[in-house]
A and B are shown apart, each in its own frame.
Chain A
Amino acid sequence: MTQAMHQILVIEDEPGIRAVLRVLLEAGSYRVIEAGSAGRGEIEARTHKPDLLLVDLGLPDEDGVALIRRVRAWSPVPIVVLSARTMESQKVAALDAGADDYVTKPFSAPELLARVRAGLRRASRGGDALPALSLGWTKVDLSRRVATGPAGTIHLTPLEYRVMECLARQDGMIITTRQLLREVWGPDHVGDSGALRVCIKGLRDKLEPDPRRPQFLVTEAGIGYRLRPGGPDEA
């Protein structure tokens, strides 16, 4: 424990859930700051400069999505949404506003902790160096653009590399179809989800051990994709 403990700001109006989150996060060696409203949350975020925000969308004074948008305006701090809203469009709205990932209530402890870990990992790396990914037997070195599998070198197209880069930069966190399209194809092609699907299929065929049951390149139906370098063990 030489390293300073990460601080996590929990913005959630339900005291019961705040208490559970505190126990859970403290058990995962994080320090927890609590806020019961969006207004209080923003103040805490500015004063304590937390390492990660866990934000409930249904806050009493303001919608969580608006809070995310405001925080994102001045800080790149990772934001994980915690919400009972299950409609995909609502999740996409929060992600497009600047959230990095979401966890649906009711959540399980491993799932939540995995998201938090992924968020902190991405923040600590700062997005400079692209990691060398290891997807099971397959290794992908994004900085050198080399991929090798058990059967030798795997050829990826430049487009596929760029998609992989985007996914890898999120490092286990979700990326919406829209964000992917904008970053890889450019802002004019955000409607071209067909091209993205073809590209993802190509990547799965090349990288996944069983392309029909993807372990690493996972579709989040209606929202986007997620790269899980650790495979299914990482929730």
Chain B
Amino acid sequence: MADDRPDPDQLLAQVQAEEARARRGRLRVFFGAFAGVGKTYAMLEAALAARASGTDVVVGYVEPHGRRETERMLETLESLPPQAVRYRGMVRQEFDLDAALQRRPEILLVDELAHSNPVGGEPPPRHAKRWQDIAELCDAGINVWTTLNVQHLESLNDLIAQITGIRQRETIPDHVLDEADEIELIDLPPDDLLQRLQQGKVYLSEQVGTAVERFFRKPNLMALRELALRRTADRVDAAARAQGLPGSQSRAYLARDRLLVAIGPDAQAEQLVRTGKRIADALDAEWTAVYVETPALQRLSAADRDRRIDILRLAESLGADTVTLDGPTAATALMEYARTRGATRVLVGEPKRRGWQALFWPSTATELVKRAQGFDVMVVARQGGDGAGLAKSHLELSHEVPWTRYGWAAAITAGCTGIAFLMDPTFSETNVAMIYVLGAAIAGMRLGRGPGTFTAITSVAAFDFIFVPPRFSFQVSDAQYLITFLVMLAVTLTIGNLMANVRQQNRVAGARERRTALLYAMSRELAGTRGRDNMARVAVRHIAEVFDSSAVVLTPDSHGRLKYPGGSPLESSFHGADLSVAQWVFDHGQRAGLGTDTLPAAPAVYLPLAGTQRSLGVLCVLPTNRRRILLPEQRHLLETFAGQIALAWERAALGDEAAAARIAAESESLRNTLLASISHDLRTPLAVITGAASTLAHHGSALDPGTQLSLARSIEEQAHEMSNLISNVLDLMRLESGRIELRRDTHSVEDLVGTALHRLEPRLQSHPVAIDLPEDLPSVSVDPVLVSQVLANLLDNAAKYTPAGTPIRIAAVADAPMVRVVVEDEGPGLPPGDPRLLFEKFQRGREESAVVGAGLGLAICRAIVSAHGGEITAGPGSRGGARFEFTLPVAEAVP
């Protein structure tokens, strides 16, 4: 069946991945369920074995934890000295990444993959996490061995916290383990560990305490062991599938699941993301974390909105795509997105509202379950009891409405009261109330929710006070007015809320549109800009404007070292960029600095400008307001900008390359024509010369004097042809290289013609030449040598291509500010085709012609005439032959 065949894309991806892997160093992880199973010991043992077989093994960093055997093994291996890092007043021994990169061993041992580097220490670590150090080592082609406990895996983090009651702070993204080349599971049954603990074989440093005791309970250990084993088994399964082992095929070709994880700014979001990762792994599905920016959520405080940045980044680190949508309600936006992206499952948190509230304000989960079409909805129960309270505290209103709007609200109420007062004598109170409803609606529409509500309340009060009997008192005689009040209040509040939502949505849509417009503006300007430096300036100007920051584009010199651009800096240029960070970004093609995984403490963000084949440069952006860069959509926008710059840049570079390639191809084809033409034009006379000369040399005495003479004549003639060709080639090269400078002087055409005729005397003997020059022909300002060569070439051609005895005519007429010179013959005329082609190099009038050496003559003529500012054309002659015409500039009248 066709379906059983491997997908070519998948095969290609596999091949590419293997190629990339071949260049990278291999990562081997000694993986265990918990501390004390002997990972470090196993790693060192393997290292000793490798060294025994001659491999260059170096210990980058291993924490001996005071274990005797470990220390003994460490002593026998080469170790890199640790780097002392000052951190919060203490000196910590840390792994020295640069020393390791410099040492470049075949295998490097670095313990504790999940270790966090002291960000903010001195000297500052390059990466926040050790797994990033190790990734860089692998990228540099160093094989790394390391150790890891299952509890440090990000996706299992909250599950393990649930099991053991202890939350791990040091976590690594799952892809680090997934991408490891080898995983060696170091297993130890829990009973054995507990026994070793009791015997004191496992040393647990100073952490010993109740927490640790609680951790090392048998149920916990069993659960952790199960997780570690399962994780390893999953990996073996995936490897088997990748190898196409029988039995694993069917699963690989199942329709892929696509999982959406809907997250909000509440406490459950983190749990949802982790659960999503586990489900996505189990289903082997792609997954996307979706955040919906509803009007309600936009009213959250800035700090709460920042929380979603962390959550979305957590999702990204777990391998999810992240998307921020906007819509009136989360459910609507999710439905739409799930439908367009073909999601098969949607993961949502537990409904927050219960009981009667849920009837009126259904939560996202409830609504999704009700309306789901084509996808499953999975509702995740909330862990712990802290969620609700936190969620509530997030929903505080932000007070941003200026007080002047309340003034306007009061004015509207006053205005309504005025109109109502005028209406009062003729209309009933219920109709008067309508005026107030209108006023409140307008206030809700124009002034926002708060002032709208204020208008509603003051309107009710004014209506009651002035118009409801008893007048000028808040007392209400008739209970039915209470209904009027309630309806008024409800209507105005509803309208006010609706309008506020619409406005908010408009604002979001407007902001998005503006961003698109900004991006478009930059792309358009980049497209119209030439040169790297100018493009960089355009980019910096736009980025500075859009992101309220200063920026700079660093470009590499010919040695691949980044440098600041030349030229005067812009007002918005960023001067303090850290070149070493930028260089790292350039070399590795990964972003660094603020808001990234690498050097997150840096004040600026460094983005690589990645071309399709190589890095083109680095964009450094220093935001005035960190939030502008940290928000996911802003960061994506910035990355889009960087992508656009790289694209425009690369397009320009490719354009230049294409032009260069075209020129190269042209000169290549020219060279080929040149070689063909020269070899033909040289070989023909050479053949005559060698033939005639060897005949004379070997049989000269046997030949009669007449034959001897004719042989000698042909040698002379052919040698002359060769000499002409060579000087033509040399002349043309000189002319085209622009090294000939015109020695202009005033000359009469008559003199020039005379010189040319003199040069060609022997050749023209068989052709009568008629000269037709008017008496009053002005003198021309030309280089006499070159122009007489033009004439000589034209006359030579005329003599060469016309039968002996046919006349050649030379004429000239004034055609201010030029003099037009004509050379005409009465031969067979020009060859068919575009006469302009005759002036191209190596064009010959007739194919397979026995006449030699015309390949360059006309090209030389054209070069000379255009150097004088004239032009040369060819056409049919007045008496049937060929006619060549060229113009020369008239000399300024001599005073």
A positions within 8 Å CB-CB of B: 86, 88, 106, 108, 193-194, 197, 200-201, 204, 211-214, 218-222, 232
Does the CB pair B753–A221 fall under 8 Å?
no
Does the CB pair A221–B748 fall under 8 Å?
no
Does the CB pair B755–A232 fall under 8 Å?
no
Chain B residues, CB < 8 A from A86: 727, 730
Task: Please name the residue on chain B nearest to A217 by beta carbon.
Answer: B754
Task: Kindly list 19 other residue pairs between chains A and B, CB separation below 8 angstroms, not including A108-B716, A213-B769, A232-B761.
Answer: A88-B785, A106-B720, A108-B720, A193-B745, A194-B894, A200-B751, A201-B750, A201-B751, A212-B753, A212-B771, A212-B773, A218-B754, A218-B755, A219-B754, A219-B784, A221-B755, A221-B759, A221-B784, A221-B785
Chain A residues, CB < 8 A from B716: 108
Does the CB pair B748–A219 fall under 8 Å?
no
CA distance A108 to B244 in the complex (A): 84
Instruction: Provide the main secondary structure of the chain B interface.
Output: helix
| Least distance between B294 CB and chain A CB atoms (Å) | 85
CA distance A212 to B750 in the complex (A): 6
| Least distance between A225 CB and chain B CB atoms (Å) | 10
B positions within 8 Å CB-CB of A: 716, 719-720, 723, 727, 730, 743, 745-748, 750-755, 757-759, 761, 769, 771, 773, 783-785, 788, 894
Does the CB pair A214–B785 fall under 8 Å?
no
The answer to whether residues A197 and B751 also contact, given A106-B719, A213-B769, A232-B761 and a CB cut-off of 8 A, is yes
Does the CB pair B750–A218 fall under 8 Å?
no
Provide 23 A-B residue pairs closer than 8 Å at the C-beta atoms, listed in order of the A residue.
Answer: A86-B730, A106-B720, A106-B723, A194-B746, A194-B894, A197-B746, A197-B748, A200-B751, A201-B748, A201-B750, A211-B750, A212-B750, A212-B754, A212-B773, A213-B757, A213-B769, A214-B758, A219-B751, A219-B754, A219-B784, A222-B743, A222-B785, A232-B761
Chain B residues, CB < 8 A from A106: 719-720, 723
Does the CB pair B745–A221 fall under 8 Å?
no
CA distance A222 to B753 in the complex (A): 14
The answer to whether residues A219 and B755 also contact, given A108-B716, A212-B771 and a CB cut-off of 8 A, is yes
CA distance A192 to B761 in the complex (A): 29
Of the candidates A88, A204, A218, A222, the one having the most CB atoms from chain B within 10 angstroms of its own CB is A222
Chain A residues, CB < 8 A from B785: 88, 221-222
- Choose from B747, B769, B773, B788 the contact partner of A197 (Cβ within 8 Å): B747
| Least distance between B807 CB and chain A CB atoms (Å) | 14
Chain A residues, CB < 8 A from B759: 221
CA distance A213 to B753 in the complex (A): 8
Chain A residues, CB < 8 A from B755: 218-221
Chain B residues, CB < 8 A from A222: 743, 783-785
| Least distance between B529 CB and chain A CB atoms (Å) | 45
Chain B residues, CB < 8 A from A212: 750, 753-754, 771, 773
Chain A residues, CB < 8 A from B748: 197, 201
Chain B residues, CB < 8 A from A219: 751, 754-755, 758, 784
Chain A residues, CB < 8 A from B752: 221
| Least distance between B754 CB and chain A CB atoms (Å) | 5
Chain B residues, CB < 8 A from A220: 755
CA distance A209 to B869 in the complex (A): 35
Task: Please name the residue on chain B nearest to A109 by beta carbon.
Answer: B716
Task: Please name the residue on chain A nearest to B810 by beta carbon.
Answer: A212
Task: Please name the residue on chain A nearest to B787 by beta carbon.
Answer: A221
CA distance A222 to B761 in the complex (A): 18
Task: Please name the residue on chain A nearest to B792 by beta carbon.
Answer: A221
| Least distance between B392 CB and chain A CB atoms (Å) | 96
Task: Please name the residue on chain B nearest to A208 by beta carbon.
Answer: B754
CA distance A218 to B753 in the complex (A): 11
CA distance A214 to B761 in the complex (A): 11
CA distance A221 to B747 in the complex (A): 11
Chain A residues, CB < 8 A from B720: 106, 108
CA distance A212 to B751 in the complex (A): 7
| Least distance between B737 CB and chain A CB atoms (Å) | 14
Does the CB pair B745–A213 fall under 8 Å?
no
Does the CB pair B750–A221 fall under 8 Å?
no
CA distance A106 to B752 in the complex (A): 24
Task: Please name the residue on chain B nearest to A105 by beta carbon.
Answer: B723
CA distance A86 to B771 in the complex (A): 28
| Least distance between B861 CB and chain A CB atoms (Å) | 15
Which 3 A/B pairs are nearest by Cβ-Cβ distance?
A: A222-B785, A221-B785, A219-B755
Does the CB pair B754–A214 fall under 8 Å?
yes
Chain A residues, CB < 8 A from B723: 106
CA distance A204 to B754 in the complex (A): 11
Chain B residues, CB < 8 A from A204: 754
Chain A residues, CB < 8 A from B727: 86
| Least distance between B286 CB and chain A CB atoms (Å) | 75
CA distance A219 to B719 in the complex (A): 25
CA distance A219 to B791 in the complex (A): 14
CA distance A106 to B717 in the complex (A): 12
Of the candidates A220, A221, A222, the one having the most CB atoms from chain B within 10 angstroms of its own CB is A221
| Least distance between B658 CB and chain A CB atoms (Å) | 39
CA distance A72 to B755 in the complex (A): 30
Chain A residues, CB < 8 A from B730: 86
Task: Please name the residue on chain A nearest to B740 by beta carbon.
Answer: A87
CA distance A211 to B727 in the complex (A): 30
CA distance A204 to B746 in the complex (A): 18
Chain B residues, CB < 8 A from A218: 754-755, 758
Chain A residues, CB < 8 A from B745: 193-194
CA distance A86 to B734 in the complex (A): 12
CA distance A108 to B716 in the complex (A): 8
Chain A residues, CB < 8 A from B746: 194, 197
CA distance A88 to B784 in the complex (A): 11
| Least distance between A229 CB and chain B CB atoms (Å) | 15
Task: Please name the residue on chain B nearest to A226 by beta carbon.
Answer: B758
CA distance A123 to B783 in the complex (A): 34
CA distance A201 to B779 in the complex (A): 13
| Least distance between A45 CB and chain B CB atoms (Å) | 30
Chain A residues, CB < 8 A from B751: 197, 200-201, 219
Task: Please name the residue on chain B nearest to A200 by beta carbon.
Answer: B751
CA distance A97 to B758 in the complex (A): 26
| Least distance between B749 CB and chain A CB atoms (Å) | 10
| Least distance between A87 CB and chain B CB atoms (Å) | 9
CA distance A212 to B745 in the complex (A): 20
| Least distance between A12 CB and chain B CB atoms (Å) | 18
Does the CB pair B788–A221 fall under 8 Å?
yes
CA distance A48 to B752 in the complex (A): 43
Task: Please name the residue on chain A nearest to B722 by beta carbon.
Answer: A106
| Least distance between B766 CB and chain A CB atoms (Å) | 14
CA distance A213 to B795 in the complex (A): 14
Chain B residues, CB < 8 A from A197: 746-748, 751
CA distance A201 to B748 in the complex (A): 9
Chain B residues, CB < 8 A from A201: 748, 750-751
CA distance A97 to B747 in the complex (A): 26
| Least distance between A88 CB and chain B CB atoms (Å) | 5
Chain A residues, CB < 8 A from B758: 214, 218-219
CA distance A47 to B757 in the complex (A): 43
Task: Please name the residue on chain B nearest to A232 by beta carbon.
Answer: B761
Chain A residues, CB < 8 A from B769: 213
CA distance A204 to B757 in the complex (A): 15
CA distance A106 to B689 in the complex (A): 14
CA distance A100 to B609 in the complex (A): 70
CA distance A88 to B727 in the complex (A): 13
Chain A residues, CB < 8 A from B743: 222
Task: Please name the residue on chain B nearest to A219 by beta carbon.
Answer: B755
Task: Please name the residue on chain B nearest to A177 by beta carbon.
Answer: B745
CA distance A201 to B750 in the complex (A): 9
CA distance A222 to B894 in the complex (A): 21
| Least distance between A209 CB and chain B CB atoms (Å) | 13
Task: Please name the residue on chain B nearest to A211 by beta carbon.
Answer: B750
Chain B residues, CB < 8 A from A194: 745-746, 894
Chain A residues, CB < 8 A from B783: 222
| Least distance between B708 CB and chain A CB atoms (Å) | 15
CA distance A13 to B74 in the complex (A): 80
Task: Please name the residue on chain A nearest to B789 by beta carbon.
Answer: A221
| Least distance between B768 CB and chain A CB atoms (Å) | 11
